[in-house]
Structure 1
Amino acid sequence: MSQDQTTYRPEGLTANRTLLTISIILSIVMMAPVAWLVGLSIKDNKELMLGTESVFAFPYTLVNYLNILYSSQAFGWFFNSLVVAVGQTIGVLVLSSLAGYAFARLEFPFRRTIFVIVLFGLAVPEQAVIIARHQMFNWFGLHNSYLGLILPDLSSAFGVFLMTQFFRAIPREIDEAALLDNASPLRIFWKVLLPLTLPAQATLGIFTFLHAWNDYWWPLISATKKEMFTLTIGIASSQTNFAQSEGLGFLSAQAVFASLPVLIVYVIFQRHIVTAVSGGAVK
């Protein structure tokens, strides 16, 4: 049996390979600064004083990371950042979930007007209210405290909007079925609807954690005592001209140390982000 056999190329295979190639190139470009930072962190500071071209050449050392353990305040700053980031994340998730449920499921006077006012918060930059915020926190004596670092970002307009839209996407029939079982609105929220919003909460939680962990503007204003510095402020305060010229490896090790929690959080929860973005949360 002789029959001409024609080899068929899947449609769009060339385009897919092109996109894959572009993605790999962009990934390499984005990862290059990270690789450079890690390389600096494991080089001896004396060797780096002679030039940074030896970053990717042996020998390497862990002395910079050991110096973090024994001779720096990085762990204190790390703890401050952890308390602030976790506190903000929990607060935003609780408040945004409650507000989202109220706007999406409950009827009360001026509901739409209040929701529009909340959304106005997305258009107001933080710098526009920084003077009034600083004076308010100064009057109440909240500067140089965990409460002072956590409270300002608990009112998340983005979080309220995200959770409201997610609650609206859940079919009303679920609420009606729960009401037939004599469930109260609070019980419906806690036991029935809230578990369905896990992907949205994970997404909001990650964004909130990243913002709080990397925040520089407000901690720079509110935390004036060194023991209350977060990692972003603490590392910036150690970047003197002397440190940049003779302690470049140590500064790089601090930066790597500060970025590890962010990487761990994203790796653990990234599948929830994908689920939320793809809209596959509500079956």
Structure 2
Amino acid sequence: MSKPFGHMGWRHSLWWLALIALGLIMVAPLIWTLMLSLKSNSELLRSTTNAFHLPYTLENYAAILKSSGVFRWLFNSVLVAGLTTIGVLTLSSLAGYGFARLEFPFRDVLFVVVLFGLAIPEQAVIITRHQMFAGLGLHNSYPGLILPGLAAPFGVFLMTQYFKAIPKELDEAAMLDNASRLKVFWKVLLPLTLPAQATLGIFTFLAAWNDYWWPLISATRPEMFTLTVGIASSQINFAQTSGLGYLMTQAVFASVPILIVYVFFQKYIVRAVAGQAVR
């Protein structure tokens, strides 16, 4: 009996070693970025191979705190990602409830049209969107950065399926107590969809925070840059920056809010990735 158990223990150890190795490979770029951000720019001009050797310094982080541009970009990203998330959750919940619970003409046809949105890449409509927003004068504005993100066909699909999974007897019981449609939605059904809303909200926030394509087109003034565009503009004009260490510090600074979101909502993120959000 000892051999099988010993053999399984050996295989179990190999799996753990493989997982640790893969984890280190994935974390290595993050560690490298953090180490470079703690080195002086003059030292990095000579060589970047000494990232794991003393001395370290916080001068790059002090420079970040003195820079008004980075905080403006951070504010823009927080505002755009936050309002986009709130808007997507609101519209997707209302649309999902309508498709799942209400009877109206061409409901199924409209739902299919919404699903078509999942198959259309953003690049296919970017020229039309740019012309439309330019005609409305919405470039270099917060509405111009937020409105495109509110079109979330996946969110509508997710919330529709979640509302369909809730027994209709709950609606009928509430209506017997003279509850209106709005009250049934707000008081009875919406609280039951919190797992799906948490999943949708997390992925929407991450997507809006990391979005680079549309802010690059819509925001042409530095004061309207989001963090992704602002940091990229610093990297493009490397000769005008304070150095490689400063660029790495900006990258670390930009990742801190995402890390905070993950720490507080990691349970929902794990459930979403495991496909357990709508169970």
Paired AA for residue 104 in structure 2:
F
Encode CA deviations 1:137-189: one digit per residue, 9 max, x unaligned: 11111110001000011010111111111111222222222222221121111
Quick one: which of 65, 84, 90 aligns to 2:86?
A: 90
Partner of 2:148: 152
Q: 1:31 to 1:6 in 2, by over 3 A?
A: closer
Contact 2:37 2:249 in 1 (8 A): yes
Partner of 2:221: 225
Q: Distance in 2 between matches of 1:78 and 1:236?
A: 14
Contact 2:73 2:224 in 1 (8 A): yes
- The question of 1:192 aligning with 2:188 is answered yes
Per-residue deviation, 1:12:
6.2
TM-score normalized by structure 1?
0.91
Q: Distance in 1 between matches of 2:25 and 2:276?
A: 30
Q: Distance in 2 between matches of 1:19 and 1:171?
A: 43
SS of the residue corresponding to residue 142 of structure 1 reads coil
Partner of 2:5: 9
SS of the residue corresponding to residue 138 of structure 2 reads coil
- The question of 1:123 aligning with 2:128 is answered no
Q: Distance in 1 between matches of 2:132 and 2:54?
A: 54
- The question of 1:253 aligning with 2:249 is answered yes
Partner of 1:41: 37
Partner of 1:210: 206
Alignment of 1:68-87 (within 5 A): 68-87=64-83
Contact 2:77 2:227 in 1 (8 A): yes
Identity %: 63
Q: Distance in 2 between matches of 1:173 and 1:16?
A: 48
Quick one: which of 170, 173, 178 aligns to 1:177?
A: 173
Q: Distance in 2 between matches of 1:250 and 1:150?
A: 29
Q: Distance in 2 between matches of 1:101 and 1:16?
A: 46
Structure 1: which 5+ runs fail to align?
A: none
Paired AA for residue 242 in structure 1:
A
Of residues 21-30 and 90-99 in structure 1, the stretch that sits farther from structure 2 once superposed is: 21-30
- The question of 1:279 aligning with 2:266 is answered no
Paired AA for residue 36 in structure 1:
W
Q: 1:105 to 1:65 in 2, by over 3 A?
A: same
SS of the residue corresponding to residue 182 of structure 1 reads coil
SS of the residue corresponding to residue 53 of structure 1 reads coil
Q: Distance in 1 between matches of 2:268 and 2:169?
A: 25
Encode CA deviations 1:166-215: one digit per residue, 9 max, x unaligned: 11122222222222222112111111111111111111111111111111
Q: Distance in 2 between matches of 1:141 and 1:114?
A: 30
Per-residue deviation, 1:72:
4.9
Of residues 90-99 and 177-186 in structure 1, the stretch that sits farther from structure 2 once superposed is: 177-186
Q: Distance in 2 between matches of 1:101 and 1:158?
A: 14
Quick one: which of 234, 238, 242 aligns to 1:238?
A: 234
Quick one: which of 136, 139, 144 aligns to 1:143?
A: 139
